[in-house]
Structure 1
């Protein structure tokens, strides 16, 4: 299976409306027109593909689904065949669901942790339409997708088998972090599009990363967070594996946004998977944000 990028993320939050200011004024995301969107939702993007990130008002802070891009109709059908051969139940998206996602076609399935995923092709592109919500240089997305997501899963072995063997994500490296093993995966030159870490009995979204085109964009966002009293989950720092210079801000919906610049890319020719014992070269110290609020207990044997 060949997934090419992270296309979109859909979230539920009781504080969805706060993204109307947090998204454009702090992060610099653009507000997208969303004629097929759900009521009480905020649609945002970091490039010419509208609706990369949609937060819909609901009772809980939770990840609703992630959308993974494949190259075209043939690739989507091949992926469906691979999923079904692996015993994964697949549901084809309705015309209404495809319009809402702004894609030509999609299929939906769940992973071992219970997260909902969609594979799609033909995401809507409106050339030269992106206008950042505040003055900034823009974001790195071309050929690399929205950014990356880090998921908390209850069972590392089951998740690793599913993402690596079933979905075909390639392992970039691993880090022992805060007593947990974190595995990083790539599907394109971005160092990692997905990372997973295990917390027994729990699942949820840890953070979404967006990468800016300029170091100054990160500094300005950092100042804006300080000026507005928005709590940081981790201070400025630089990561060991992708060399990203970033900080982590707690979003209105309980998960974190890693806001970064300068990540190195992956070249599969000669790439060697490494094992590290520190996530950062310097910085990324705990901030003043409260505990994350986008995790939920998993029912079943993992909680026993």
Structure 2
């Protein structure tokens, strides 16, 4: 059985200052600004989908929701049924929500990490990918969705159960390492298509100020990662992780802190999931090399 039933359709954020985030998403990351939703939220995209990031104004300064797009109606129904069977019944989206998300169908449920998950069908698309002049090679999304999201939660075991038993994701591999003396990091990387992970869940030792650690977008061309890195350096933004390569998915990437706090990973060239997946193993380091913090030049 193929596990390709879902893709990351969109990430919803609620931030106090959408304008500050917007400049960052467009001018540093290189995403394409899109039309506002019916609810007046700002949007960005990295391909032909009408939106991939939805930014609402509000005090949360964090993840508001993840939209997982089902590949077809059968996958949509199966996911909704699976969530209910796992003890996470969904609520059918009302007309206003469906319109604001620009989808054909929507079923919503509160995830254990404290934000909404929306299973959607038929996310609106344009004839051509939106122009991304700062990322001339464009982004890798076909059959894999927007990218990935990494969420930290104290409700780790329940969150993993929600993602696997509920959403039907499969663990790609896991990481356990010490990030500081006495502070362990445990992360499960989960796939639902050919992308190594569409969702990763980290066990938070205590309630974090933000559940969303980062969102990742993957460029088609390696040099577009380097160009984005130059823009991040020029913008004087903190780089929690400079250029490096992950051990488990082999992604060449860097992480830049958004003005709101959560990070954006810009990467290229990650390994793909092949069926059947037999490489679920424990890693003890995040990166094969690099990914060291880089302080802004002052």
TM-score, length-scaled by structure 1: 0.89
Counterpart residue number, 2:152: 152
Checking the alignment, whether the CA contact within 8 Å between 1:207 and 1:256 is kept in structure 2 is yes
DSSP-derived class of the 1:127 partner: coil
Residue 35 of structure 1 and its aligned partner are, at CA, apart by 4.7
Aligned length in residues: 287
Please point out which of 195, 203, 206 is paired with 1:198: 203
Residue 81 of structure 1 and its aligned partner are, at CA, apart by 2.5
DSSP-derived class of the 1:232 partner: coil
Quick one: distance in 1 between partners of 2:5 and 2:206?
Answer: 28
Q: Unpaired segments of 5 or more residues in structure 2?
A: none
Please point out which of 7, 13, 16 is paired with 1:14: 16
Checking the alignment, whether the CA contact within 8 Å between 2:91 and 2:109 is kept in structure 1 is yes
Counterpart residue number, 1:294: none
Checking the alignment, whether the CA contact within 8 Å between 2:241 and 2:291 is kept in structure 1 is yes
Kindly tell me: are residues 2 and 79 of structure 1, through their superposed partners in 2, closer, same or farther at Cα, counting changes over 3 Å? Answer: farther
Counterpart residue number, 1:240: 247
Please point out which of 261, 265, 286 is paired with 1:254: 261
Counterpart residue number, 1:295: none
Checking the alignment, whether the CA contact within 8 Å between 1:16 and 1:252 is kept in structure 2 is no
Q: 1:44-70 CA deviation, whole Å, 9 max, x = no partner?
A: 000000111011121231110000111
Q: Unpaired segments of 5 or more residues in structure 1?
A: 290-304
Residue 36 of structure 1 and its aligned partner are, at CA, apart by 1.3
Counterpart residue number, 1:176: 176
Quick one: distance in 2 between partners of 1:141 and 1:226?
Answer: 26
DSSP-derived class of the 2:253 partner: strand
Checking the alignment, whether the CA contact within 8 Å between 2:85 and 2:166 is kept in structure 1 is no
Q: 1:275-301 CA deviation, whole Å, 9 max, x = no partner?
A: 110110110112338xxxxxxxxxxxx
TM-score, length-scaled by structure 2: 0.91
What value does the CA root-mean-square deviation take over the aligned residues?
Answer: 1.7
Quick one: distance in 2 between partners of 1:188 and 1:220?
Answer: 28
Checking the alignment, whether the CA contact within 8 Å between 1:2 and 1:168 is kept in structure 2 is no
Quick one: distance in 1 between partners of 2:75 and 2:35?
Answer: 29
Counterpart residue number, 2:289: 282
Checking the alignment, whether the CA contact within 8 Å between 2:219 and 2:267 is kept in structure 1 is yes
